[in-house]
Amino acid sequence: MGELPRWEFGVAPLPEVADLATELRELLNTVLALESAPPELADLTTRIRAARGAMAGSLPVDLAPRIGDAATDAQRVYVDHSRDIGAFHPCYPVYALRCADDRAEGEVTFPVCYEGPPGIVHGGFLALFFDCVLQQLNCDLGLAGKTTRLALRYRRPTPLGTALRVEAERRVEDDRIHSEARLLLGDELLCAAEMAAFAGTREGLPAVSPRRTP
């Protein structure tokens, strides 16, 4: 099956939000490793609380996404979640991924903010990671859809702060997409995932309202 133009749904994140996401993630990695609370921490929390309160007045009245025929100006803009979500959302892991010919390969290193057991990545974050990787594979190759199943097999503990390799592939059968991925340390398999999804159509996607000009 030939590759189609990559699948996108939503608007690009604000560059200022992307910058903030990086700093927030690094901040979490720093404060989670503190032995005691320096005075800068309480001061930072106070300033963040004040900034959040100041920005609250700029929020839309309705926090539902502004998509579809019933969208209104009172709703919020929807940001594209098809790939690289960690670039603008600090709760998502950051990874590199290269997709072509129904396959993908890439790298990831999980910092302290994704810890579960001591020194080990929380299994829930691994599920999130694989969901992002396999969805990006589908979107980059131009055919995606709603996930119907995601299953993980945990083979070995996944270490924090370690460069890991991810491999993935997919196949399309009628209106179904079947995807698999593996997370490896060298040649050792740490975790594997399988995903099933409906193959959607671009025509079936609701319209996404663009970001409003200030």
- Specify the pLDDT at position 146: 92
More confident: 99 or 5: 99
CATH number, position 159: 3.10.129.10
- Specify the pLDDT at position 2: 53
- Specify the pLDDT at position 119: 98
Q: Are 160 and 111 in contact (CB under 8 A)?
A: yes
Whether 49 is in a domain gets the answer yes
- Collapsed DSSP state (helix, strand, coil) of residue 102: coil
Distance CA 85, CA 82 (A): 7
Q: What percent of the chain has pLDDT over 70?
A: 99
| Average pLDDT for the chain | 95
Whether 10 is in a domain gets the answer no
- Specify the pLDDT at position 43: 96
Whether 211 is in a domain gets the answer no
- Specify the pLDDT at position 3: 63
Whether 118 is in a domain gets the answer yes
| Interval 142-179: pLDDT, tens | 999 999 999 999 999 999 999 999 999 999 999 999 99
| Interval 182-211: pLDDT, tens | 999 999 999 999 999 999 888 888 999 999
The count of structural domains within the chain is 1
101-to-1, 104, 136, 152 alpha-carbon distances in Å: 9, 8, 13, 24
Q: What is the mean pLDDT of residues 109-135?
A: 98
| Interval 34-51: pLDDT, tens | 999 999 999 999 999 999
Pairing type for strands 75-76 and 164-173 reads unpaired
pLDDT value at 1 more than 80: no
- Specify the pLDDT at position 203: 85
Q: What is the mean pLDDT of residues 78-104?
A: 96
Distance CA 141, CA 7 (A): 7
- Specify the pLDDT at position 4: 78
Range of the domain at 129: 15-204
Whether 95 is in a domain gets the answer yes
- Specify the pLDDT at position 212: 85
Residue identified by tokens 């690094």 is 26
Whether 169 is in a domain gets the answer yes
Whether 210 is in a domain gets the answer no
Structure tokens, 186? 């060298």
- Specify the pLDDT at position 170: 96
- Specify the pLDDT at position 141: 93
Tally Cβ neighbours within 10 Å of residue 23: 10
